[in-house]
Structures are given as structure tokens and as C-alpha cells.
Chains A and B, each alone.
Chain A
């Protein structure tokens, strides 16, 4: 990608951001608050000190992992609604290792992350196999498996991993210290290992989509599974591997949530990151390199939302509204520009929307 094209792409992504900020400003004014005040408080909430900033980064890392994974399934034309469940299963698998294996810290950490990838990958594979082999739409399969993953969390917490002090549905026992990821410092509590991991994942997925046969097969399958099949692409295998790789990345996100954020397994451990990641993937439109920026904006907004409540008595749901408007305006903007292109420069109208693969 040359710099100029990158710039226009950024420009395209920024216009919806500006529009949604305007709409939000209007909403905030309606609530009787000066939008500039709200913005200042929001930024202060996210960036007032290293601790606040660490919170932003600790949200950004798992959201980015899950979003990168989703770009893969999106490229293959798949609506992987099940990504939240894949995160949850990743958290459960990582917790299982953390709570039951007795290993020195480095090995234990490695084992936890590998286990999370295996768990997430399996959960993804299940959606993929249901779709490719049995014709179950991945949206339905994903929703069902999300539910099962949440129930599995509750079962583990109230059953096998019930804390010794008695039954509660609040969490598993805290993980032993060896299981926790090392932090950069006590002031800036982020995990360098995961930071490196997310950068590596970004680069690897970018290169895989761009330069490998698998990436090309994903793209072809996403745009026209029937033609792809006729051109010799093993579309079923492509669909399943897309889900597996996405699930593995989501699994790492789940491990992060359990090991870093909560240091135990909790109900709704994903915190809805999977659904947020779907919005990110919609905004990024299959461009991996845009993902970290979008996830950062989302994370900063969320990080500052508590401050809005404390300082201005605005509901934290406002941030959700901002994100929702952002996605809506982005999709509207995309649709409008496609329409404009279709009527002005294209010899024939063609659907460029990502289509759900059918076989």
C-alpha cells in the first residue's frame, strides 16, 4: 500500500468519525452538558495518568486481537458472530491451565496461552464445521455457541472451580502468582509480552492476507464461493480454517481478559469485546492495518466513560451510543460512496458488499 492511498483511506475513515462526534455533541448538549467539557473529561478519564492509560491499553490489546481475527473471517465472507464465545472459551481454557497445572512461571504462561488458542480455535472450528459440512448458518451457530460458552463459564465457577469459601457466581479462585503475566512496572501495569504478541499478530495476518495462497483463497471465497470452488479453491476447508485462525486469536484475547484484567475467571469474562470487535471489523473493511487505530479510539472512549459519570453525571451508555453512531455513519458513508462510484465511473453495477458465503 503506498502512502497516498493509505492517506485517502484514513480520510475515508475519519469523515464518519467527525460526523458521529458531531451527532454525539448534539446529544450531550441536549442533556444539558457542554460538549467541550464532556470531551475534556473523556480525555482526562483515559489519559490523566499512567494508570488510566494502562487501562486503555489493557482494553485495546484483547479488542485488537479479536478484531484482527474477525478481519480473517470477514475476508472469507463470514459473519463470525461467535467470536465472543471464542474469547470466552479461550478464557476458560487459560483458566483451566492456570488453576490446575503446577509449572514454573514461563512454562505456565506459555501453556496458558497455547491452551487459550486451542480452546478458541476449537470453538471457531465448531462454527466452521457446522457451516461447511452441515449447512448451519454461521450466525446461528455462533449465537448458540456464545450462549453455551457463557453457560460453561458459570458452570465452571459454581462447580469445579468453586472458591473454598463457598458458592458464589462472582468468580473462580484468584490465579496463583506464577500464572499472571509480568507487568512493565507497578505504575504502568501493562504486559509487554502481550503488546509484542499483538504487534506480531497484526504483521502476520497482514502478510498472510496479502501474500499467501490461503489469503487469496479467503478473498475469493468471500467474494464468490461458487466461482472460487469451480476455480479449484477448497472452499469448505478455507471456511473452516478461517474460523479456526480467528478463534485462536480470539482465544488469546480471552486469555488476556482472564489473566491480566480479572486474574480469575468471571461470568461474562469477554466483557462484550467480541461484539465490539465486529463493529471494528465493519469499520476497518478488511484492512488489517486500520484495526489498531480504530480499536485505540474505541478503547480510549471506553476508558474515559467512567470519568464522564463521575464529573458530569452523564451515563456511561453514552460511549456505546458514540460507537454505535460511528459504525452507522461509517456504513452509510461507505454505501453512499459505493453508490456514487457505481453511477459515475463503473461500467456495470456490481455488488461489493461482503456477502455471506453459501455453498
Chain B
């Protein structure tokens, strides 16, 4: 299906999110939608998928003018969107989730539905157990299920928002193969919103680049990463360089001795780890391999089942999160608005919450400090703005502004999740500054480049077991080797 967008305009208050966007997406082709945070990609995709209407402009499908204002109407018109977090209902099985919603309204149930699901799975090599409760299905599996559901609804255009976040390399390959097949064989229009340039290069036929609300370029691939970055930012970034930390004589900031960590699904056993002040240790592994558990244990959010944890020479075993906080631990979770920021509170209220210590809040002082921090951390927003009104990158900067200037230990879950290259580098600058002031940094990331670039050492987790790569060096530590370790091939690499 050909999708024509003409003079699309959208404003949010003073922000011109989409400024006269004109573009045609042809059926049978895969488009990458690129742009830094706040460039207007999400807004455009939300307009196209019916989550919000445009202020002005028109949309044509195969020349036919369409007007819809809800996701359901967009689906009926043939546009389906795969959200970053698949929309499914926790209590249902995979099959029930497949049927749930418009499909059941169309009378597809029971055996027929199961056959339909099986047919899609067969065609694209999806592995979905229809009886499995959805909560036990991996993100990749839930994504495949959602694609199957959208296909059964007869969509002719598919929008995917950061689909490769949190899925395995294998699932990514399956996804890409399926998308290519859908474009080539079914004439489907596929739009991919992603920050991962290598994914865009691997999958897409063309890219459309947005900057500050405007469409600034379109290019038929192949192109190099460098070319794409230039289009997104206006200039090429030099590869990140990181001065090595000098750790001689540094005292241990964090010491874990023979710890056992348990969650419902996983046990991490016999883990020992020492982090010196000024050291950066990265944690690699597939989702749920144990790295999250370790991070949360280091922040005092998960208690050790056995073993000991020391901070700056202080035994913290069994202490509460607030004790860890007092001991100089700063924790930032991956889900910013779920864990870290409070939607509905203003930026000033956030700052006041973490800096005011007296019984009475001095709003004047808090507001002045907020204005100052917004400036220093380059946050685009007003002290009176509510946090959820900021873009993801600005929320992350705000989170950084909230972390103490001189923590003992920074514990970070995916510190640059969903950020563009520039914002990610900025965040790391801030983290390295804190490192230089003596903070130890422990972080997890699904981005292997990030791990190799910034870590002094890397701990790779697989099913609760971990192996260490000491002395990480961007030139010597290959991403491929890390990839093999993450897949659990410990012996191959060490041998």
C-alpha cells in the first residue's frame, strides 16, 4: 500500500513537533525513520497509527484520502503499529492474546484462530507456544505474536517502534527475515523507527531523516553509518574515545563476597566482585540472565540470600535501600517513568524531593536550583513542566541531574536506553565526570559497543552464571566474542 503524507503539521504548545512533512512510503519497501530524540519521529508515527490526529495535512492510502482518529480506525484502514512494549494482557495465554480484541469481534476463535496463528508461525519461523501464559513469553516472542495478530487483522502497512530492543540476536534475525518477506511477497509497507543504525542498514531499503520536526533528508540505502549520522546530526561524530582510568592504589568502593541472589526464575550463585573507586564495570547478557539481579542487589533493592556486600569498607549486608542511598549509592533503573521519575510532579518538585532536607520546603530555593540544573544538564523544559511532558532524552538528563554529584557507586540499568547517539554520548560524559571524581560505576547494557567502549571490565551473564573479561580494550575486545559469551559459549572463548 502506498502511503502519502502531505503537509503534516503537529504542535504541542510551543514545540513544533511535525513541521510540514511531505513524504510517500511505497508498498513493498522497508523504510527506516531516523532522527535524534525529539526530532518528531514518534509524533509522526503516532499520527499515522491513529494514536493522535495531525493538526493539519492529509494522508492518502493508494491515492485515497483517509481520515482516522483512533488506533482501531487506523487498523481498519490497514495500518498497524508494533509498540516498543508489546500490548498484551498479562493473565491470558499467547493464543488468547492473539484472539483478544478486534479479532474475536470478527468471529475468529478456537480452532480457526489456532490454525491461523500456526500458519503465520510456520511461514515466518516464529516459535510461539499458544498455551503458554503471556507473562512467560519473552519480549521477542510477544512481539512475534503481535505481528501475527496484526497480520490476521489484514494490515497492509506495519510500523515498528524500536523493535530490536530487548530481544535476542536470533529473534532479531527472524524478525528481519519476516519483515523482508512481508515487503517482498505481500507488498507490505514497513516503517522502522530505530536508534540502532546498524539495524536500519541491515534491514531497510530507504531512510527518512527528521530533525527538529522537519524532514531533512531521504536516502536510498546502502549508506554507511557515518552518512546516516551526518544526516541526523548535521555533522559526523568522531568515534568515542575514553581516557583509561588509573586505578592503582584506589580503594574498593564495592565488594561482594560469595553472594547468592535469588529471584523467582533465577539463581545467581557464588558471585564475588570488587569494584574500586573510579572503575567502570559493565554487565552483559540477555534479559533475565542475572545482571539485573546483581544491579539491584548492589543498590540494596534485592537482599542477598547468602554472602556479604560491602560499600567503602562498610558491611551493608541486609541493609535497606535507604541505607544504601545514605552510603552513597545512586541507582537509575531502565524504566525512567516507572522507576525513578514521578509522572505528575513538576521538575521543581523532583529537585525539591531530592534536595530539600528541612520540614518546610523552600520553593524559591528549589526553583532557583532547578533552573540552574536545567541549564547545566541541558534539559529542554521549564521548572514548572511536568516530567512526563519531556522527551525521553530530556527525562534521562533530568534523571542525571537528580543523581548526586559525588556518589560512591553509580548503579545503572541501561543508562542510554532509547537515546540517540548524541544524547548517549552526553550521558556518558556526565558519568565519566563522576567516575573521575572517584565514583565506581556498575552498569548493564544490551548495547555491546557501549559495553566495550566504556567498561574497564565486563561481566558476562548467562543463565545466572558469569564470566569476567578483564582489561577490556576497544581494539582488542571484539563485539563478536562478547556476543558468543552472551549466548553461553563460555568454553569456546576461554579455551
What residues of chain A have their CB less than 8 Å away from a CB belonging to chain B? 211-217, 219-220, 223-224, 226-234, 343, 345-348, 350-352
Q: Is B444 an interface residue (CB 8 A)?
A: no
How many residue pairs bridge A and B at CB < 8 Å?
84
8 Å CB contacts to A: which residues of B339-363? 339-345, 349-350, 352-354, 356-361, 363
B342 in contact with A213 (CB, 8 Å)? no
Task: Find chain A residues with CB under 8 A from B52 CB.
Answer: 343
Instruction: Provide the bound-state CA to CA distance between A231 and B354, in Å.
Output: 6
Q: Report how many residues on chain B are interfacial, defined by Cβ distance under 8 Å.
A: 37
Which residues of B from 44 to 67 have beta carbons under 8 Å from A?
A: 52-53
In the complex, whether B242 has a CB less than 8 A from a CB of chain A is no
A348 and B43 alpha carbons, distance in the complex (Å):
9
Contact A230 B343, beta carbon cutoff 8 Å? no
Contact B341 A227 (CB under 8 A): yes
Residues of B within 8 A of A348 (CB): 388-389
Instruction: Chain B residues near A352: list those with CB within 8 A.
Output: 344
In the bound complex, residues from chain A placing their C-beta under 8 Å from that of B322 are 232, 234
Taking A230-B333, A231-B353 as contacts, is the C-beta distance between A216 and B361 under 8 angstroms? yes
Say whether B334 faces chain A, with CB atoms less than 8 Å apart: no
Which residues from chain A contact B388 at a C-beta distance below 8 Å? 348, 350
With contact pairs A213-B358, A345-B13 given, residues A230 and B389 touching in the complex (Cβ less than 8 Å): no
- A232 x B354 contact (CB < 8 A): yes
Chain A residues, CB < 8 A from B338: 224, 226-227
- List chain A residues, Cβ under 8 A from B126: none
Q: Which residues of A contact B341 (CB under 8 A)?
A: 224, 227
Query: Is the Cβ of B361 less than 8 Å from the Cβ of A213?
Result: yes
Q: At the interface, yes or no: B17 with Cβ under 8 Å from chain A? A: yes
- Residues of chain B within 8 A (CB-CB) of A227 are 337-342
| The 7 A-B residue pairs with the shortest CB-CB distance in the complex, in nearest-first order | A223-B344, A224-B342, A347-B12, A350-B388, A227-B342, A223-B342, A220-B342
Is B325 in the interface zone, CB < 8 Å from A?
Answer: yes
Give the residues in chain B near A220, CB-CB below 8 Å.
342, 345, 349, 353
A233-B359 in contact (CB<8A): no
In the complex, residue of chain A having the shortest beta-carbon distance to the beta carbon of B52 = A343
B354 — nearest CB in chain A belongs to which residue?
A: A231
**For the complex, what is the distance from the CA of A227 to the CA of B341, rounded to whole Å?**
6
B353 touches A211 (CB 8 A): no
Measured in the bound complex, the distance between the Cα atoms of B433 and A267 in whole Å is 67
Question: B376-405, CB under 8 A of A: which get 1 and which 0?
Answer: 000000000000110000000000001000
User: Which residue among B43, B356, B388, B402 has the maximum number of chain A CB atoms within 10 Å of its CB?
Assistant: B388
In the assembled complex, B321 has its CB within 8 A of some CB on chain A: yes
Contact residues in B for A217 (Cβ distance below 8 Å) = 353
Q: Does B461 contact A (CB under 8 A)?
A: no
Flag whether B331 is at the interface (Cβ < 8 A): yes
A229 close to B402 (CB less than 8 A): no
Residues in B whose Cβ lies below 8 Å from that of A229: 321
